[in-house]
A and B are shown apart, each in its own frame.
Chain A
Amino acid sequence: MSFETLRALIQGWAAAGWLPAGLTHGFLVNALLSGLVIGPVLGGLGTLVVTKRLAFFSEAVGHAALTGVAIGILAGEPYTGPYASLFGYCLLFALLVNYTRNRSNLTSDTLIGVFLSVSLALGASLLLVLASRVNIHILENVLFGSVLTVDDRDLTVLLAVAAGVTLPMLALFNRLLLASFNPALARVRGVPVKRLDYLFIMLVTVVTVASVKIIGAILVGALLVIPAAAARVVATSLRGFFLLSVAFASIAAVAGILLPVQLALPVPSGGAIILAAGLLFLGALLARLVMRGDEG
């Protein structure tokens, strides 16, 4: 089924009153589809990010996207989707962080702090150069997301990335976790720890970069972290942790996209999505307190 057919179907349901009236607009249908595609993937991968203590890393990769966009525009890519530079720069950034981490005696947070600062400095400098060339307000979209401008090309990228990340994530879920529990034990059980480390940061990077258009470079890392953090607070098993994280991320993405339109709020999509995730996190904390109260 092409995006056009799917869009027409959803618009038809909205016109018939089965779905919110806003979905009669094609651009909002695109936005919703993008949220439904990437939300569950971010939620699922987020459980591994939180368990492997890579929250700061995923934030840093998101921020690196800013520099990636600047390089893309300088290189003449379309400012609405400079994907080659985005993916290229962010992958380089992530691989360099991991490579250096394996070869220096610095802790991860220190090393990521250094790389993040340098990358942001480079991005900020390039943006100043760009200011004279393009309308700098375009960068607001990069920073905070512009889900309402998602087109078929963006949806295709999102779908390809979602499939390309979900399959290895599911196939290697246990091994990725085990590598962080005890590398020696993982190796005895046939897990190629170092190679999986690289693979995992590449998965995090591509899913982050693909989500920049929806959530924005500033906040994109947060949808990998907040839903998983909320799920970790209330879950009592790995199954609950994973399923709740997927559910929270999907709800946050859909609510963040639809609510501002329904309520006519002038809020960027990225901000709305992360605020929705934040509310879920707050709810999870309260639920935990209530459950503890019951136990006590």
Chain B
Amino acid sequence: MSGMGPSGRRANGPAILFDRVDLTLGRTAILEQVSLAVAPGAVHAVVGPNGGGKSSLIRALLGQAPHRGTIRLDWPGDGGREGPGTIAYVPQAVEFDRGLPLTVEDFLAVLCQRRPAFLGPDRRLGYGEALARVGMAGKGRRRFGALSGGERQRVLLAQALIPAPDLIVLDEPMTALDEAGVAIFETLLAELTAAGTTILWVEHDLAQVRRLATRVSGLNRRLLFDGPPPEMLSPERVLGLFSAAPRTMAGALAS
């Protein structure tokens, strides 16, 4: 059965269940006994200090970090669709040679199509439309390496829309965004939510999380809290998240 999102809308996205997840790198415990449920169609934010395991949680979810415990995606079973849906990921940054002769459309083509990108973009995939949705209409021919950090971040958001995602995993997508970019991100979240997409969103900006997320989890090696943002992000809890526990991160709160 298709799940119902937190807002009561029918969700296409999966539910995610982390069950007693442990992740160790060398001798350092990065995640300890993390159990967490993400509802289908939720905008679920994960907050916590740097080094608290937020990105590692994403890597474990995407099957890129060896871990103990269970991580399960429960996809909605009806609608005639078999098997898992589309997972999109928006990384914090991409590593590439800034001088590379690579246009924005070339970059999208490298990510989204099988036909060699040097033969040109496959127009059927809707690159123009995806760029328009992130406020980059008409900038497809610009060199990717010459974009500002905020523009590059928007292109990273655009790639996640092709093909339309059922689950989108965002790793601090607002870091480089300017004011206009933040507004676009907000609209995009609303559109994705309306489409029933499950959104797992690692973010350091607590004010944005308070405004936009339907649920928030505080993570600093262990899960410290999990619930609706207005209640969870009380000053005491936030102070506890950033100052207490495994690694002292008072500085992160101050910044």
Name A's B-contacting residues (CB within 8 A). 47, 51, 53, 170-171, 173-174, 177-178, 180-182, 184-185, 187-189, 231-232, 235-243
Contact = CB atoms under 8 A, between A and B. Distances in A.
A174 B114 contact: yes
B71 interface: no
B190 to A, nearest CB: 23
A121 B19 CA distance: 54
Given A237-B106, A241-B101, A187 B114 contact: no
Interface string B207-250: 00000000000000000000000000000000000000000000
Interface stretch (B28-36, B44-52, B84-92, B180-188): B84-92
B106 A238 contact: yes
A203 to B, nearest CB: 15
B62 interface: yes
Top 3 A-B pairs, shortest CB-CB distance: A242-B118, A235-B101, A238-B106
Interface size class of B (residues with CB under 8 A): 20 to 34
15 contacts: A51-B96, A51-B100, A174-B114, A177-B110, A178-B111, A184-B89, A187-B62, A187-B63, A188-B89, A238-B101, A238-B110, A238-B117, A241-B102, A242-B118, A243-B118
Given A184-B62, A232-B101, A177 B117 contact: yes
A234 to B, nearest CB: 8
A58 B88 CA distance: 34
A236 B143 contact: yes
B64 A187 contact: yes
* A interface SS class: helix
Contacts of A241: 100-102, 118
A187 B63 CA distance: 9
Contacts of B141: 237
A188 B87 contact: yes
B95 A182 contact: yes
B25 interface: no
B58 to A, nearest CB: 8
Contact of B64 (A53, A181, A184, A231): A184
Nearest to B156: A185
Contacts of B109: 174, 238
B204 to A, nearest CB: 19
Interface in B105-135: 106, 109-111, 113-120
Given A174-B109, A188-B89, 14 more contacts: A51-B100, A173-B117, A174-B111, A174-B117, A182-B95, A184-B59, A232-B99, A232-B100, A237-B103, A238-B103, A238-B117, A238-B118, A239-B120, A241-B118
A59 to B, nearest CB: 18
B199 to A, nearest CB: 15
A54 to B, nearest CB: 12
Interface string B143-167: 1000000000000000000000000
B254 interface: no
A134 B93 CA distance: 56
A184 B91 contact: yes
Contacts of A171: 114
A181 B199 CA distance: 23
A188 B96 CA distance: 18
A235 B101 CA distance: 6
B1 interface: no
Contacts of A185: 89, 91, 94, 111
A177 B113 CA distance: 12
A182 B94 contact: yes
Nearest to B107: A181
A181 B100 CA distance: 12
